[in-house]
Structures are given as structure tokens and as C-alpha cells.
Amino acid sequence: MNDALQSPAACSDPEWRRRLTEEQFRVTRRRGTERAFTGRYWNCRQAGTYHCVCCNAALFHSEAKFESGTGWPSFFAPLDGAPIGACDDVTLFAHRVEVHCDRCKAHLGHVFEDGPAPTGLRYCINSAALTLVCDDTSQRED
């Protein structure tokens, strides 16, 4: 069911629902959030590149991943040139900065200014928005 797109072509909701699991659709297309400590990659230590589950754009490398204690995969920086966009999010009675894939507009998570050096940023990303391509095998971990 995880038939990720290879191009950023606009899709209708029925098409996204066909290509994504229910959880992936809820998170990426409806700006949802998975429960802490439940996502596939929150505690993953495999080396590789994390891609957008919707359009396959390379977003983060495991070298920038760190244990934040929040229960979501956390990165201190995206890959150089990664299509990461940001916008204000004022839901839940708080101001946060939402991050999304600029290529396909998938909601990824949020970025906070409480991360480690060298950036001081914490990209708190939903596992459901990601697919890991491991360095040692060049295979997708689906």
C-alpha cells in the first residue's frame, strides 16, 4: 500500500488514499500527528536517508538524527537542498512552526529552537511521513 510517488504531481484525495496507508494519509495530507513513541523511526538507529513518503524527496540523513526524548524522530538539520518548507501553525492555542515537503506539500511535523549544536534546531518529524533508505543496502525500509 505504500506506493510512494516518484514525482510531485498533484494528486486528488482519492489518489493519495490509494497510495498511502490510512495513517500516512492522516498525517501527511490532513496535518495529523502520530502518538509519541509509536512511530516506526522514533528509535531507529540505522544509517540512511529519510525520504518523503508521498513524493520520495530526500529530506534528512541519519547523521543529523538525535535522541530528543520526545518520542518522534528528531533531526538537527535537513539535507542540503532538501525541499523543506515552513509556515506558522497556530493550532492547539500555541505558536509553532510547521514543516512540510515543498515538493508535494506533505505535512512532516514541526521545527523547534531547542535542538543541539550545530544548528540549535529540532525538526520533530512524524515517522508516518518518512521512508528510510538504508545506506548499507540502498533498499527502502517499508
Report the Cα–Cα distance between both ends of the chain, in Å, rounded: 10
Q: What does the DSSP 8-state code read for residue 15?
A: H
Q: What does the DSSP 8-state code read for residue 95?
A: -
Asked if residue 102 has pLDDT above 50, the reply is: yes
Catalytic residue selected from 11, 54, 124, 134 = 124
Question: Please, are residues 108 and 125 in contact by the beta-carbon 8 Å criterion?
Answer: yes
Whether 124 sits among the annotated catalytic residues: the reply is yes
Q: How far apart are alpha carbons 6 and 56 in whole angstroms?
A: 6
Structural domains in the chain, sorted by start: 13-137 (2.170.150.20)
What is the predicted pLDDT for the residue at 114? 94
Four-CA torsion 91, 129, 51, 71, nearest 10 degrees: 80
- Contacts for 22 with CB less than 8 Å, ≥ 6 apart: none
Structure pTM?
0.86
Q: How far apart are alpha carbons 112 and 66 in whole angstroms?
A: 14
Per-residue pLDDT, averaged over 81-95, amounts to 80
Least confident of 63-77, 82-96, 112-126: 82-96
What is the predicted pLDDT for the residue at 2? 43
Strand partners, 48: 134
